Amino acid sequence: MSNLNKLDFTALEVSGRNYLKWVQEVKLHPTAKGITAAIEAPTNEKLVDEAQKAIAILFIQRHINDALQTKYLAEEDPCTLWLTLADRFDHQKDIYLPEARHDWQYLCFQDFRFVNEYNSKVCIIRSLLQFCKMELTKSDILEKTYSTFHATNIILQQQYRA
């Protein structure tokens, strides 16, 4: 019986490449079980019993890579483990922001064969930018689309802007 049960979702990789998706999925489990306080900073209002801590630590450890499990084997407090993992991997926003900005800057409507492909890429870039706390408005998206029309389609550009 490997890893006690089948994983509910992908384990956190050693490189942390999937940290953002992993952390979103892992946050839902304690909420569903009513043990969110076990991974939050302790306060006087939120007392956490040992059973809740045990459930939280087991869940987190089952959903990280074996190498990470070994490294954090001695950690018995789920809040400390959660904060340690965040400290180690939460720099992802700093990595994604320049990449998303670059993709947005060089996005060109004419580079796509179908409008759906272009819309899909815009949605991906917009989501990454929102995650990094940078908002794109509808007018930004429309302006980007119009400004990247080919020069021979300048009339279309002007018609859509009007």
89-127 pLDDT, tens digit per residue, is 888 778 888 999 999 999 998 889 998 999 999 999 998
Q: Which pLDDT score is estimated for 123? A: 92
| SS3 (DSSP) at 76 | coil
Does the pLDDT value for residue 7 go beyond 60?
no
Is the pLDDT at 5 greater than 60, yes or no? Answer: no
Place of tokens 């990595």: 95
Predicted TM-score (pTM) of the model is 0.64
pLDDT at site 38:
80
CA distance 15 to 68: 10
For the residues 145-162, what does the mean pLDDT come to? 72
C-beta atoms surrounding 22 within 10 Å: 20
Contact 19, 92 (CB under 8 A): yes
For the chain, the structural domain boundaries read 19-89, 92-161
Q: Residue 88 class from Cβ within 10 Å (0-12 exposed, 13-18 middle, 19+ buried)?
A: middle
pLDDT classification of 28: cutoffs 50, 70, 90: confident
